[in-house]
Amino acid sequence: MHQHPPHTPLLASTSAAKSSHVSGASNRVVYAAPSPLAPPRPFVVLTFGTLRRVPDDPRPLRHTVAMNSWSIQLLGWAGSALLVFSLLQQRVLRFRLLNLTASLTLTVFNALVHVWPMVAMNLVTGSINIWMITRLVRERGDSSVYEVIPVGPDEAYLRHFLKVQAADIAKYFPQFDPAEGLGPGRSAYLVERGNETVGVVVVRDAGEGVAQVELDYVTPRFRDFSPGEFVYRSSGLFRGKGFRQIKTPPGMLDPYYRRLGFREEGDHWVVDLPAASL
């Protein structure tokens, strides 16, 4: 009569083996015995529900499978966290870049766990993000996308815009007071993108042909694009008022001034306007 080695577990029947396989936890080793005379065949049940043959001693493989499972789960959690974080961004370009990174991460994760509908969805999302990023970067310096509209300091819409953005303006321009900054001798310029106001520039006549910039504000959504530069590119707006020089507020960072020909003078940025052509 055939005797099985004492160290080799054998399920009593095929049905018992199947039952053990169905209810078994991840990485649990079971032995399927299709007939009483066949030697036991060891398998390991992976986290993803597939069966793989293992050697007689499954302990090293079980450890490897567990490590791989945790690393894959970590990848999925990282992609999900990045996706949620991207939705909290106000800046449109930063949102697209983070969302693209999350989509690519989740594409890899879902491919590893064989969830193909999610792979397809993340590939489509990533493609949309790439298209939007390309479009935004291409339009960054396109003067046909942004339009500069001169407005009077007493315009109702200008006052409404400054009121809505008052908290954000106070954070970056604490010295600017809308009530005082829109008085006589001031000029204001709205920067429009389609039907959306993305920025405003307010300047004061400081005398001797100097236009003192008191406010150069951009809404959070378009802060990666510096649309205020289109105001300074339209030098005719300033020459028409008799200005020969533009000076920024003190302590301004350099997002685009140097690129437009400004130079540093103390804590200001200054540019001399070209003379009007005859």
219-228 pLDDT, tens digit per residue, is 998 888 777 7
CA 268 to mean position of chain CA atoms: 32
Whether pLDDT at 52 is above 80: no
Whether pLDDT at 91 is above 80: yes
Give the least confident one: 32-36, 111-115, 173-177: 32-36
The Cα–Cα gap between 145 and 143 comes to 5
The Cα–Cα gap between 136 and 130 comes to 10
**Between 230 and 167, residue with greater pLDDT:** 167
Q: Which long-range contacts (CB under 8 A, 24 or more apart) does 40-43 make?
A: 40/4, 40/8, 40/9, 40/10
- By C-alpha distance, which of 85, 84, 86, 94 is closest to 220? 94
Percent of the chain exceeding pLDDT 90 equals: 34
Q: Where are the domains of the chain?
A: 14-57, 63-139, 146-272
pLDDT of residue 89: 93
pLDDT digits (tens, 9 = 90+) for 233-272: 765 678 778 888 999 888 777 667 887 788 888 888 898 8
Average pLDDT, the chain: 77
Helix or strand run (H / E) with residue 276: none
Has domain 146-272 been given CATH number 3.40.630.30?
A: yes
- Write down the pTM of the prediction: 0.63
Give the least confident one: 39-48, 59-68, 72-81, 177-186: 39-48
Query: Which residues face 193 on adjacent strands?
Result: 146, 196
pLDDT of residue 124: 97
pLDDT of residue 16: 41
